[in-house]
Amino acid sequence: MSRDELWKMTAGEAVARLKKKEISPLDLVEASAKRMAEVEPAVNAMPTLCLDRARDHAKRIMAGGAACEASGEAGWLAGLPVSIKDLTDVAGVRTTYGSPIFANHVPAKSHPLVERIERKGGIVMGKSNTPEFGAGGSTFNEVFGRTRNPWNTSLTCGGSTGGGSVSVATGEVWLAHGSDHGGSLRRPGTYCSTVGIRPSPGRVTRGTSNNLWSPQSVQGPMARNVPDLALFLDTMSGLCLQDPMTFDAPAMSFSAAVADPVAPKRVAWTADFGGRFELDADIREICTKAARRFEDLGCIVEEESPDFGPVDEVFMALRSQQFVVDRELQLKDQRDKIKPDIIWNTELGLKQTTSQLAWAERERAALFRRMVEFFQKYDLLVTPSAPTAAFDVNLRAPPTINGKKLDNYMSGSTLNSGITVTGSPALAIPCGFDQWGRPTGLQLVGKPRGEAALLQAASLFERMLGLSKLLPIDPKPGTVPPSA
């Protein structure tokens, strides 16, 4: 493979060649920089770059010594370029959180997760685009504008880790860091035909969050295929003294688990959680057929769903409380610089009573107990990972789902946000394309802290379909298909 084609390698292939010194970290940094120059004008995934910082880090790794102290650990990346979501601080690099309030913010210290990624040989190439403060299912903000879907640049890439998903789909970097509250690692994976996993709360440090005791928002990885995803989850996982919810990394790495996968015995499939959520008819058809493919792996597949109760109301109550923690003070002082969706969500939280919050917590606990009971019978829960295909890049949400208008900007995320409330790990994996060529995907949900088995199931499914071989891609122009 020529130096100009290094971006086509998987992360696993690149790391293997780095370890053998067949290529150098600096080779990959330059290949990444060249690829970004080629595709960024079409997609706007990486608006802030730190190429000199990346080159310096590559040279330190090549020199060995302290820069390679983690080389024997699981998740060692050996000098692989990655992207960091623009919600997460990188020392000396402009970090805006997608907000005009922080348009010129340059942190002096990196987030604990970035420190961990860099210690394990990941080289930060720059910051991937995100909606303002990560709020929204389409990636745009007033600082950097809109990020476009590489399969059709007239469409959204999803949100809020939209820039991260596009950065790996187009070959700008090999792995992408992101975060997930209501689907932010899963929806962009679905729309861009990449893979993203929302880990169990505590699997990956959230470090500097003001919501350190809430399991709602988590950090996690995105990649082009499941083995690469497992590798980056190994990089991220483990105890962090700055996050009280974290715990030790597993004795067996996720990469080792994926290398020797075991299929789940019993799989539950639900298109809409027993009629609870809307989804477009073509999504229902594509995902139903894809879910049945688990039978080809020897699995028993049954149409079944846990009782999710009033999960959408529970999620919004808990989400709104988190917005109060994060945005109440900014709302008082800089309301004119905050987008309406965030104002609405924060004020919804401010209007809630303690009794309403207590109700939401009781319902969350009851749902968790029902999920634990459900997983006594089933090894895996499978759902669609989005109710619609990618929509117009100029819209903040799909105009309709199955012909019905949305109540609010989060209404298009209930398939994902319902799983958030359960605390279970969930992974979005490509499963095909609709009639307009837009990627579709499944959401695979595992047992609490069951990422290894979840990744194994995803790996077997991915091998069977072979869709990961279509990445990375060159951005393609297109038009917006008609709404369902």
Q: What is the pLDDT of residues 278-307, one digit of tens each?
A: 999 999 999 999 999 999 999 999 999 999
1 pLDDT higher than 80: no
Going by their DSSP bridges, the two strands 145-146 and 140-141 should be labelled as antiparallel
**φ, ψ (nearest 5 deg) of residue 177:** -85, 145
**Given this model, what pLDDT does residue 189 score?**
98
Query: Which of these, 234, 239, 261, 179, lies nearest to 15 by C-alpha position?
Result: 234
Angle 434-436-442 (CA atoms, 0-180°, nearest 5)?
25
Rounded Cα distance between 288 and 2, Å, is 41
Going by their DSSP bridges, the two strands 122-128 and 80-85 should be labelled as parallel
CA-to-CA separations, 29 to 126, 173, 401, in angstroms, rounded: 11, 9, 42
Rounded Cα distance between 120 and 135, Å, is 29
For the stretch 188-234, pLDDT in tens is 999 999 999 999 999 999 999 999 999 999 999 999 999 999 999 99
Q: For the chain, state the CA radius of gyration.
A: 21
CA-to-CA separations, 39 to 147, 172, 190, 381, 392, in angstroms, rounded: 12, 8, 20, 36, 20
Find residue 82's DSSP bridge partners.
124, 175
Q: Which tokens belong to 66? A: 């302290």
Going by their DSSP bridges, the two strands 175-180 and 80-85 should be labelled as parallel
CA-to-CA separations, 407 to 2, 215, 397, 416, in angstroms, rounded: 51, 25, 11, 16
| Residue 108 amino acid letter | A
Of 1-5, 16-20, 129-133, the least confident: 1-5
Give the rounded percent of residues in the chain with a pLDDT score beyond 70.
100
Neighbours of 484 (CB within 10 A): 19
CA dihedral 178, 181, 185, 189 (to 10 degrees): -150
**Given this model, what pLDDT does residue 427 score?**
98
For the stretch 310-364, pLDDT in tens is 999 999 999 999 999 999 999 999 999 999 999 999 999 999 999 999 999 999 9
Read off the pLDDT of each residue in 48-62 and give the average, rounded to a whole number. 98
Whether the upstream peptide bond of residue 459 has omega within 30° of 0, thus cis, is no
Whether the upstream peptide bond of residue 100 has omega within 30° of 0, thus cis, is no
For the stretch 383-399, pLDDT in tens is 999 999 999 999 999 99
484 pLDDT higher than 70: no
SS3 state of residue 156: strand
Read off the pLDDT of each residue in 238-261 and give the average, rounded to a whole number. 98
| Residue 384 amino acid letter | P
CA dihedral 476, 477, 479, 484 (to 10 degrees): 20
247 pLDDT higher than 70: yes
Q: Write 145-148 long-range contacts (CB < 8 A, 24+).
A: 145/44, 145/47, 146/44, 146/393, 146/394, 147/43, 147/44, 147/45, 148/42, 148/43, 148/44, 148/393, 148/475
**Which residues contact residue 66 at a Cβ distance below 8 angstroms, ignoring those fewer than 6 apart?**
none
414 pLDDT higher than 80: yes
Q: Which tokens belong to 370? A: 């029902």
**Which residues contact residue 202 at a Cβ distance below 8 angstroms, ignoring those fewer than 6 apart?**
215, 243, 245, 246, 247
Residue appearing with tokens 């997460």: 88
SS3 state of residue 139: coil
For the stretch 368-378, pLDDT in tens is 999 999 999 99
Angle 425-426-432 (CA atoms, 0-180°, nearest 5)?
160
CA-to-CA separations, 181 to 112, 168, 371, 394, 416, in angstroms, rounded: 19, 21, 19, 22, 9
**Given this model, what pLDDT does residue 291 score?**
98
Q: What is the mean pLDDT of the chain?
A: 97
CA-to-CA separations, 205 to 22, 81, 134, 421, in angstroms, rounded: 33, 21, 17, 19
Q: What is the 3-state secondary structure (H, E, C) of 390-407?
A: CCECCCCCCCEECCEECC
**Given this model, what pLDDT does residue 317 score?**
98
Name the residue ranges covered by the structural domains of the chain: 3-470
**Given this model, what pLDDT does residue 210 score?**
95
Read off the pLDDT of each residue in 235-241 and give the average, rounded to a whole number. 98
CA-to-CA separations, 276 to 270, 307, 415, in angstroms, rounded: 10, 10, 9
Rounded Cα distance between 182 and 420, Å, is 6
Rounded Cα distance between 121 and 72, Å, is 11
Q: What is the CATH number of domain 3-470?
A: 3.90.1300.10
**Given this model, what pLDDT does residue 57 score?**
98
pLDDT level of residue 2 (50, 70, 90 thresholds): confident
